[in-house]
Amino acid sequence: MKNGMKWVFSLFLLFSMQTFHAQLFQNNKKPLLKVRKVGPYLGVQQAKYFAAEFGAEMQFKQIKLIKPNTHAINMGFDYNFRLNQPVLSYVVGYWFKQGRLNLTYGATLVLKSNFERNIVGGGPVLGFKLLGFHLQTGYHFLPQADSFKEVNQLYISLRYVLVNTRDYTWRKRDKK
């Protein structure tokens, strides 16, 4: 009986190692399953000034056992209403994550307005995403920031994405 269990365990190990090998060394094939998630996000941005964030995000994820890739685009706005001169910002962003518990790397393009002047800028974003929450820190390079003082250039934000739609795409297996 013990000898039979060793054979079953050995066969299981052999087949699982073959699966790991296939995913590690055959990167030229597309994944079998992809998912696209779409939904709104709510967030807060804290820096010199506090702002509330609202928007929508679309995520594209490869469902793989090892190193799944996630790409996302988002579009939204944030509003700082505590100032004497309120600031409205429109933000378009992109981020990328490879793996399950790795950092996200991205960039943003921003249009800020105090309803008298407008500033266009952009910059890098670094973050960490876990269970729908996305903690990001970034810097906005704003060329005319001298005359426009009530903006967050270096900031940290926390967002939560409420996923409304999940679309799965299956790829057919290649016949051997």
41, 53 in Cβ contact below 8 A?
yes
pTM attached to this predicted model? 0.75
Dihedral Cα 126, 44, 112, 105, nearest 10 deg? 10
Q: Which of 105, 85, 93 is nearest to 151 (CA)?
A: 85
Kind and range of the H or E run holding 55: strand 50-63
Please tell me the predicted confidence (pLDDT) of residue 135.
97
Q: What pLDDT shows up at residue 1?
A: 47
Of 91, 71, 95, the closest CA to residue 80 belongs to 91
3-state secondary structure of 158: strand
pLDDT tens series, the chain, 176 aa: 455 555 555 555 555 544 444 555 555 566 678 999 999 999 999 988 889 999 999 999 998 888 889 999 999 999 987 767 788 999 999 999 998 889 999 999 999 988 888 899 999 999 999 988 999 999 999 887 676 777 888 999 999 999 999 999 887 766 66
